[in-house]
């Protein structure tokens, strides 16, 4: 009996890939627990214990999202079909809630986002702390439809609601030492089971951290989303506030932010720390630079029919945003700086 979901790359060809480290990590933990090979007969009680570790046994009442007031940014309307909300909110990567695509929606419904506190500090003249209400009230909200391209070679088109990261950084007043911006997700293992066990958390050292150069952070595309499809974010998509950097692989778009720290040095980033040969600091979408274990030339666009009927399309440099961002990398060898 298979009580462990096989990694998606094992059953969905090579196209929708869970990083291999996750699978190996699960095997090692099963071994460490003395349970032998996956699929071996395991007493019922022990199985139930493992089941709990994956967080599948908790019943959940759905998280409540609320409508937001915003204007549509005409510059970011899309001619492409949007990925339906039913897919955007059920096919997720949020390892704090489990490593399979369906884990976040199943495990995050009880997530508490009010009260919340987001700190903007470091190399700034006026550090800011935003409370839960401030997240949707302090800045004028706009809707922007962006493509999201995961490093695992699937993609979506999502109407986000939020505000440019640069607007918030300008309020904080970035000083002359500033070169990078670091981002940090909430650390709360009681709420985020993936932070409790390496089995659930994919081997990442929590809290999940990310980073951008200051120029990237100040680019108009860099966006802080507080909602999608006109309503506040569901927890599985990074409630109450997450970063969206559409020209980079999805793992840069860090969720459920509690800190934005302006720095004079390049900050560590979670996937780069875990597997530096596979995941770089820049992580710009680039069809010409393959992941060591799979091609990045094409992607599966998730639409009405979902992953299995998704259409395969060509991946574009910078995810199609080259006009807005290519200039940032004029002097950079993108093959070395993947």
Ligand X SMILES: Nc1nc2c(c(=O)[nH]1)N[C@H]1C(S)=C(S)[C@@H](COP(=O)(O)O)O[C@H]1N2
**Which residues line the annotated binding site?**
92, 95-96, 150, 185, 237, 242, 253-255
Nearest CB to ligand X, comparing residues 136 and 269: 269
If contact means CB under 5 to 8 A according to the sort of partner, which of Mo ion, ligand X, none does residue 232 touch?
none
Alpha-carbon distances, residue 306 vs 135, 174, 251, 279, 313 (angstroms):
31, 42, 21, 26, 15
Alpha carbons 331 and 95: distance in angstroms, whole number: 34
Beta bridge partners of 67: 231
Binder among 208, 223, 247, 338 for ligand X (CB under 6 A): 208
Residues 222-241 contacting ligand X, CB under 6 A? 237-238
Nearest CB to ligand X, comparing residues 93 and 219: 93
Beta bridge partners of 155: 149, 301
> What does the block give as tokens for 205?
């050292």
Nearest CB to Mo ion, comparing residues 251 and 329: 251
Residues 139-168 contacting Mo ion, CB under 5 A? 150
Q: Nearest-CA neighbor of 75 among 332, 321, 330, 335?
A: 321
If contact means CB under 5 to 8 A according to the sort of partner, which of ligand X, Mo ion, none does residue 180 touch?
none
Do the strands 223-228 and 231-232 form a parallel or antiparallel pair, or are they unpaired? Answer: antiparallel
Cβ–Cβ < 8 Å for 4, 14 = no
Binder among 15, 145, 185, 286 for ligand X (CB under 6 A): 185
| In the complex, least distance from residue 283 CB atom to Mo ion, rounded to whole angstroms | 10
Per-residue x/- mask for Mo ion, residues 92 to 121, rule CB under 5 A?
Answer: -x----------------------------
Binding residues for Mo-molybdopterin: 92, 95-96, 150, 185, 237, 242, 253-255
3-state secondary structure 47-114: HHHHHHHCCCCCCCCCCCCCECCCEECHHHCCCCCCCCHHHHCCCCCCHHHCCCCCHHHHHCCCCCCC
Residues 94-123 contacting ligand X, CB under 6 A? 94-96
Nearest CB to ligand X, comparing residues 130 and 147: 147
Residues 272-331 contacting ligand X, CB under 6 A? none
| In the complex, least distance from residue 192 CB atom to ligand X, rounded to whole angstroms | 9
Count the neighbouring beta carbons within 10 Å of the beta carbon of residue 1: 8
Do the strands 117-122 and 257-263 form a parallel or antiparallel pair, or are they unpaired? Answer: parallel
The footprint of ligand X on this chain (CB under 6 A) covers a number of residues equal to 17
Binder among 150, 199, 226, 260 for ligand X (CB under 6 A): 150
**Unique residue bearing structure tokens 């890939």:** 17
In the bound state, the residue with its beta carbon closest to ligand X is 250
Torsion of the alpha carbons at 328, 334, 336 and 338, rounded to the nearest 10: 90
Binder among 22, 108, 153, 254 for ligand X (CB under 6 A): 254
Determine if 63 is a binding residue for Mo ion (CB under 5 A): no
Strands, E assignment, the chain: 71-72, 117-122, 128-131, 142-149, 154-164, 180-185, 209-213, 223-228, 231-232, 242-244, 257-263, 298-301, 311-314
Determine if 253 is a binding residue for ligand X (CB under 6 A): yes
Judged by the rule CB under 5 A, the positions of this chain that interact with Mo ion are 93, 150, 250-251
Judged by the rule CB under 6 A, the positions of this chain that interact with ligand X are 92-96, 148, 150, 185, 208, 237-238, 250-251, 253-256
């Amino acid at each position: 009996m298979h009580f462990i979901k096989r990694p998606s790359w094992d059953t969905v060809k090579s196209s929708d890939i869970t990083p291999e480290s996750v699978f190996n990590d699960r095997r090692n933990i099963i071994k460490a627990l003395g349970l032998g090979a996956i699929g071996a007969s395991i007493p019922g009680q022990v199985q139930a214990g493992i089941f709990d570790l994956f967080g599948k046994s908790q019943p959940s009442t759905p998280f409540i999202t609320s409508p937001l007031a915003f204007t549509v940014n005409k510059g970011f309307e899309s001619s492409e079909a949007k990925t339906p909300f039913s897919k955007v909110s059920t096919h997720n990567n949020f390892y704090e809630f489990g490593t399979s695509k369906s884990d976040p929606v199943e495990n995050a419904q009880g997530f508490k986002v009010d009260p919340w506190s987001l700190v903007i500090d470091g190399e700034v003249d006026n550090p800011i702390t935003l409370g839960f209400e401030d997240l949707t009230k302090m800045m004028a909200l706009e809707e922007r439809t962006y493509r999201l391209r995961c490093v695992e070679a699937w993609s979506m088109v999502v109407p986000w609601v939020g505000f440019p990261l640069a607007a918030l950084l300008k309020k904080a007043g970035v000083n002359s030492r500033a070169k990078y911006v670091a981002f940090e997700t909430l650390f709360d293992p009681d709420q985020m089971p993936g932070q409790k066990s390496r089995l659930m958390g994919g081997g990442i050292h929590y809290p999940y951290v990310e980073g951008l150069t200051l120029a990237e952070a100040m680019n108009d595309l860099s966006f802080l989303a507080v909602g999608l499809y006109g309503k506040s974010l569901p927890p599985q998509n990074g409630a109450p506030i997450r970063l969206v950097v559409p020209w980079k692989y999805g793992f840069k778009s860090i969720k459920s932010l509690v800190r934005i720290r302006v720095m004079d040095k390049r900050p560590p980033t979670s996937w780069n720390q875990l597997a530096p040969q596979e995941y770089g600091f820049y992580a710009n979408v680039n069809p010409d630079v393959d992941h060591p274990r799979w091609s990045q030339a094409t992607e599966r666009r998730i639409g009405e029919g979902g992953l299995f009927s998704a259409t395969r399309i060509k991946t574009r440099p910078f995810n199609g945003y080259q006009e807005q961002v290519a200039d940032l990398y004029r002097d950079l060898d993108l093959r070395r700086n993947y």
